Structure 1
Amino acid sequence: MPTTLIRNADVAILWDAAAKQHAYVANADIAFEDGRLVFAGRDYAGPAEETISGTGLMVMPGLVNIHSHPSSEPMNKGFTDEVGTPGLYNSSLYEYLPVFRADAEAVPSCVRVALSELLLSGVTTLADLSMAHPGWLDLLGESGMRVCIAPMFRSARWYTKNGHVVEYAWDEKAGEKAFAEAMTLIERSEQHESGRLFGMVVPAQIDTCTPELLKDSREEARRRGVSWQIHAAQAVSEFHEITRRHGATPIGWLHEQGLLGERSIIGHGIFLDDHPSTPWHTQRDLDILAETGTTVAHCPTVFARRGITLKHLGRYKRRGVNMGLGTDTYPHNMLDEMRLAAYLARTQATDPRSLTTTELFEAATTGGARALGRDDIGRLAAGCRADIVLVDITHPMMRPARDPLRSLIYAAGDRAVRAVYVDGQKVVENGEVLTMDYRAAAAHLHEAQKRIEARVPELDWAHRPAEQIAPSTFRWS
């Protein structure tokens, strides 16, 4: 296979195996062939059929996103920016999530929009937590991205009839059937012709799954050697529901059931027994997460919109919890999510030293890779997958570039991303996605949202129009 060489990059973020951390390396060469890195360091002396000048570039590993909902969230732009149910502690899950949903025709455009935004912000590996939909695997294959397919299943759906009580409609047989179908879909993903898809077992939420379904799914994940993820400790109402059912916090109960471990991921993990909104007598949740090696998938934007946040990313890291990052909502921009994660952590700690950019980048790369059971992504070293991001350090928003990663995260963002490679294949060039028509998908989604908005009153418990639930910024005339 032909070898591609990025020659003499101004700076590269390479993996220092001895120190077990990323490091800046000036005047670096990166060579790859057949989807893998064959060299990452200085003074490459091997063959190269294609040479790319590294002048003016920072080369960094592709970002690893362990929690996202591409098939639904892009539709919510303009709907859920400012909504939260007062009677349910400002969560938007129970009252609004069911009414602003993409229909089958809109789902492919949702996925293309989300994946395009992710690629443009340097994400090369994504965990896609979605309900199964037609053509899902081929759509992910089309993107050129490395995707962990995570078909969600559950024993119940939640709803509210009054805006202050969450109720559950149970159908255990349907949950078992959806679980079996998810396992079949995971098997199909691993056989997909793209070679970039793999699976994860995902019972959707701690409060919508029976204990039996949770245990069976965790055991199946262990048997298959894949990761297991669940939404838990994501809402105050959920925290109270689990303590009412089981006399334990969500994290405490999952631990009692033997469900936590190094391949377990908690989606969000905000409301622990020492969170100010959910104080509980045990004061053990954070230590449990650290001791069991469980990962927390931190997605700050979706909660910050509702005045909610993790307390706080730096504290979790200091206690030894493996942290990964995700984009639970629009925009699917990992660099924006990283910036907000840093600022919220420091604000919550009232301490600018509470979270370093080093720790933040680890969460977005090796922390996520660890959660997925991968040591060949999220880092640049010989033998790893050729998942590479080229950043233009001559971009005005990158200047001055004394510390180029900080300039990227805190100033330039995706505007400075010049190119992205997955498995050595270029998928982004000069701000354009090469594998999907981002603009056409966004235009289609714009039209589809009008259709979704029209049906809101029939789905809402109080039959309110969308404009009443989510008023426009200004009055239209």
Structure 2
Amino acid sequence: MTTTVIRQADVAIAWDAAAGQHVYLPGADIAFADGRLTFVGRDYAGPAEETLSGSGLMVMPGLVNIHAHPSSEPMNKGFTDEVGTPGLYNSSLYEYLPIFRADAEAVPDCVRVALSELLLSGVTTLADLSMAHPGWLDLLGESGMRVCVAPMFRSARWFTRNGHVVEYAWDEQAGEKALAEALTLVERAEQHESGRLFGMVVPAQVDTCTPELLRDSREEARRRGVSWQIHAAQSVSEFHEITRRHGLTPIGWLHEQGLLAERSIIGHGIFLDDHPSTPWHTRRDLDILAETGTTVAHCPTVFARRGITLKHLGRYRRHGVTIGLGTDTYPHNMLDEMRLAAYLARTQATDPRSLTTTELFEAATIGGARALGRDDIGRLAEGCRADLVLVDITHPMMRPARDPLRSLIYAAGDRAVRAVFVDGRKVVEDGTVLTMDYPAAAAHLHEAQKRVEAEVPRHDWAHRSAEAIAPTTFRWR
């Protein structure tokens, strides 16, 4: 067992167990062996087969991303930057999501591009919400990341024939079969030779699953001791659909079904009963989320593109709601997502104090870890996994570095990330992903998008071209 020591880091973001919070620790030594941290403090005097200089570095825990779709979203760059269906409250889900899809050949490149971007921005743990695809687990193992495998399943697919009505094609037996297949994948993930994969149960959306499928899936998650996540309160159309079906809001209905608890995660959770776009006769949704210990996976970028945002992150935090962060869309850059989350929270609150950087970093680390049922990630403490991010605090965009985390989030971003370790293995060095060929995957994806673009008229309800749906910034001459 080889012990590696980072000596005399300028600063570490260490975990103060007594206070239950992160702290700045200057002059820190960090030691790790066999994938775990063995020392976080000063003046390490133990064995050291390998020593790294911490001069000019900030060492922080790897970020925890609890909501992403790596197998599809990278393909959407250039397609969905500025689209939203006017007749469906500017959501892009129902009209555009089904037509801009990576084909089977492109899926591995989508995954490699997304995971590379995540690693480069300091993410060491990811929840991958994807439909099952060939070679999925081995591809995740290859990446070097710690991944919560979250195969989605559902009883219905949504579609629109006209751009203002959402319809559902139901197949309840297919949903039950897909649940069984997802559970098998979760078991395989936990047995994977990499040792870094684990699982989650994910009925895809609140409006595409039968009550029976939701209850069965939640019971399986409880029985297996894994987390359970669902997309809910993510669009105005969905809010109206659930209130029409059940006379309750999406959050209220999930609660009535007994589905919300500490290991439950709501993907997005924007349209509550007191949101300005969905005013309802109750004012209980925020209380329900807080009282049940449910986590909200907040992914601001994908909604901000369509003029939509949660109202507002600081309010959720003050109400006692657990928050985790995700990168629902491209770019899969967690530091960018954190910056936008902070700015949107403050503009929505019209208050610069509404969300602190302390709370933001907690959401990106221990908030996400808690949602995944892990107390061994998202913090630098002895016994935790050796998931580390080394930040160059001498980078010009980090200077001045009176408060280095703020300099990282609000100024330097991923440009200052020097190296990333997962389980003590270096997976990023000097801006290069060591486990995957990011440039090659991006080049393949560029070619694959041409195939997808050619197929758009066949999948679109109005048989429009990609250029008609999403015109380029300037016309090509």
Shorter-chain TM-score: which interval?
over 0.9
Report deviation, 1:333: 0.1
Counterpart in the other structure of 2:118: 118
Q: CA deviation at 1:195?
A: 0.2
Matches within 5 A, 1:434-449: 434-449=434-449
Q: CA deviation at 1:450?
A: 0.3
Tell me what 1:83 maps to. 83
Matched, 1:39 2:57: no
Return the offset for 1:312: 0.7
Give 1:375 shift.
0.3
Question: Structure 1: which 4+ aligned runs deviate by more than 2 Å?
Answer: none
CA deviations 1:371-401 (Å, max 9, x no partner) are 0000000000000000000000000000000
1:240-255 alignment to 2 at 5 Å?
240-255=240-255
1:445 deviation in Å?
0.1
1:167 CA drift (Å): 0.1
Query: What pairs up with 1:365-384 in 2 under 5 angstroms?
Result: 365-384=365-384
Equivalent runs, 1:245-394 vs 2, <5 Å: 245-394=245-394
2:102 aligned partner: 102
SS at match of 1:455: helix
Instruction: State the alpha-carbon separation in 2 of the partners of residues 323 and 368 from structure 1.
Output: 7
Q: Which amino acid aligns with 1:439?
A: P
The answer as to 2:218 corresponding to 1:226 is no
CA distance in 2, matches of 1:359, 1:108: 35
Name the counterpart of 1:451.
Answer: 451
Per-residue deviation, residues 60-88 of structure 1 (Å, max 9, x unmatched): 00000000000000000000000000000
Give the Cα–Cα distance (whole angstroms) in 2 for the partners of residues 133 and 365 of structure 1: 28
TM-score (norm 2): 1.00
**Counterparts in 2 of 1:112-261, with a 5 A limit?**
112-261=112-261
Indicate the SS of the match to 1:186: helix
Q: CA deviation at 1:430?
A: 0.2
Unpaired segments ≥5 residues, structure 1: none
- 1:248 Cα deviation after fit: 0.2
Q: How far has the Cα of 1:314 moved from its partner? A: 0.6
Q: Distance in 1 between matches of 2:105 and 2:414?
A: 29
SS of alignment partner, residue 8 of structure 1: strand
Cα distance in 2, alignment partners of residues 318 and 342 from structure 1: 15
Take 2:37 and 2:185, find their aligned partners in 1: how far apart are those partners? 30
Aligned mates of 1:28, 1:63 — CA distance in 2: 20
Question: Residue 233 of structure 2 aligns to which amino acid in structure 1?
Answer: A
CA distance in 2, matches of 1:43, 1:216: 52
Secondary structure at 2:74's aligned position in 1?
helix
Q: Deviations over 1:216-275 (max 9, x none)?
A: 000000000000000000000000000000000000000000000000000000000000
User: Which amino acid in 1 is paired with 2:246?
Assistant: H
Aligned length, in residue pairs: 477
Identity of aligned residues (%): 89
CA distance, structure 1, for counterparts of residue 335 and residue 148 of structure 2? 20
Counterpart amino acid of 2:263? R
Where do residues 403-422 of structure 1 align in structure 2 (5 Å cutoff)?
403-422=403-422
Cα deviations across residues 438-466 of structure 1 (Å, max 9, x unaligned)?
Answer: 00000000000000000000000000000
Structure 2: segments with no counterpart, 5+ residues? none
Output the amino acid matched with 2:24.
Y
Q: Distance in 2 between matches of 1:423 and 1:205?
A: 33
Taking the aligned partners of 2:161 and 2:259, their CA distance within structure 1 comes to: 32
* Pairwise CA distance, 1:422: 0.2
Distance 1:377 1:424 in 2: 12
Aligned to 1:101, what secondary structure does the other structure show?
A: coil
| Rounded Cα–Cα distance in structure 1 between residues aligned with 2:154 and 2:311 | 28
